[in-house]
Amino acid sequence: MFKEFKEFAMKGSLLDLAIGFIMGGAFGKIVTSLVNDVIMPPIGLLLGKVDFSSLFINLSGKPYATLAEAKAAGAATINYGLFLNVLIDFIIVALVMFLLVKQVNKLRRKAAEAPAVPTTKECPFCLSVIPIKAVRCPACTSELKSK
């Protein structure tokens, strides 16, 4: 049973999946940093110096100046600013995945459309199929012209 599991675990597709999963996690962190540290600050600045990660709706009825204060007090909040950041994260990842899959499909179509190189030809005398490099037909023994 261990041998079968080892064979299963060492198959190329499973290792590819594991590597893709790890790379996807790292890519997700890069996108999160891109959104939080590069994209959202200029957008917030353009919209009147708004920090999207601190936007929230307080449901408790007590006033809190910041999201951190509300969380520390255990107040119920709707954190729509954090949701906007995560939504932008998702849109960027989805766009990159779409472009990646589109490119891979394009490459696959090109590979499938590539004409196959012929490996056989027809003997002009007996019409039997013979290897393309043949100089004499094995069926009728006719000598073939070289192209």
Same domain? 132 vs 106? no
In sequence order, what are the beta bridge partners of 129? 122
Q: How many domains does the chain have?
A: 2
Q: Residue 91 in 3-state DSSP? A: helix
Indicate whether 136 and 76 sit together in one domain: no
| 22 and 87 fall within a common domain | yes
Where in the sequence is the domain holding 80, given as residue range(s)? 2-114
Q: Which region among 15-19, 52-56, 78-82, 98-102 has the lowest average model confidence (pLDDT)?
A: 15-19
Element (H, E) at 130: strand 129-131
Q: Is the pLDDT of residue 14 over 80?
A: no
Query: Would the pTM of this model clear 0.95, i.e. be above it?
Result: no
| Nearest of 58, 59, 54, 48 to residue 81 by alpha carbon | 54
17 with 77, same domain: the answer is yes
pLDDT interval class at 93 (50, 70, 90): confident
Residue 76: what pLDDT?
92
The set of residues, in sequence order, having a beta carbon less than 8 Å from that of 39 and lying 6+ positions away, is 88
In this predicted structure, the answer to whether residue 8 has a pLDDT above a threshold of 80 is no
Statement to judge: residues 94 and 125 lie in one domain: no
CATH number for the domain spanning 55: value is: 1.10.1200.120
Rounded to whole angstroms, what are the CA distances from 129 to 118, 125, 147? Answer: 12, 11, 16
Are 88 and 57 members of one domain?
A: yes
Element (H, E) at 77: strand 77-78
